[in-house]
Amino acid sequence: GVAPAIANRLIGLITGLVVVIRLAEVVVDPILGNIVDNTETRWGKFKPWQVIGSIISSVLLVVIFSGIFGLAKVNWILFAIVFAILFIILDVFYSLTDVSYWGMVPAISEDSHARGILTALGSFTGTTGWNGLTMVVVPITTYFTFIATGKHTQGPQGWLAFAVIVGIVAVISALFVAFGTSEKHNAIREAAKQKMTIKGVFMGIIKNDQIMWVSLGYFFYSLAYVTTNGVLFYLFKFVIGKPGEFWIAGAVATVIGFVTSPLYPILNRFIPRKVLF
């Protein structure tokens, strides 16, 4: 509902912000990891952040997809400022959920083989969820837009409904993790019981050449991944002109995920990890 020139600026702002924040997570995630690590509650370190992070990020997701209650049509500059603030807060709480999720792996089991299976399952379901969204996003947005307006297109009503569905699934998933797992006090956790300051975290990373090399590799991977995925829907919608076929990108990736993710623990039985990587 805004002028094309303003819409282009907002699209540039939003996609640019997504890429910048993903790159900033290289610095932010260790800080969030330190917050999770220093959390002590009756429910453990990780479960509170699973629930809190998923609820807050899901609510903010819905607010953003509402056009911040129509603010974009009233004052696009104010919308841009509020959007940036809300998106950063959303990303921080989503990252707290994500960091605490993967931090739970050694807390659930100290057996290396079991942790490998847990990690592979987490990657598998995460990949399926992400690519599954790619497959259903256009049908969902089109369907709910049609219900609201009678038009077969991806309108704001459809995108809001999509955000609500994603938010509900995210919260339910986090509750499954919170109530379906139990933290164990094992040798791995006892060895890492000493509280670490934020400065200590970064000094530990900087002085560990292995972590630095892995981080560099992950940095380039994230840059490529976020840059391509951040504009993929725009490619189908505005360049190819066939948003209805966007699901193909998700279908291909889902099939690949089904094949590759479960393969890792199987291959690891016969091939050492260094060679496998």
Cβ-contact 181, 104 below 8 angstroms: yes
Annotated domain spans of the chain: 4-110+152-240
The whole-model pTM stands at 0.76
Give the pair of three-digit tokens for residue 40: 């002590």
Give the pair of three-digit tokens for residue 193: 């019981």
Please report the pLDDT score of residue 186 as a whole number.
64
Give the pair of three-digit tokens for residue 169: 């699934």
Please report the pLDDT score of residue 193 as a whole number.
61
Please report the pLDDT score of residue 61 as a whole number.
95
Kindly give, in sequence order, each residue whose CB lies less than 8 Å from that of residue 87, ignoring residues fewer than 6 positions away.
14, 17, 18, 21, 60, 64
The per-residue b/e assignment along 76-100, b for 16 or more CB within 10 angstroms, e otherwise, is: beebbebbeeebeebbbbbbbbbbb
Residue located via tokens 């504009």: 231
* Segments of the chain with pLDDT less than 70: 1, 186-196
Tell me the C-alpha distance between 98 and 58, whole Å: 13
Q: Is 194 exposed, middle or buried (0-12, 13-18, 19+ CB in 10 A)?
A: exposed
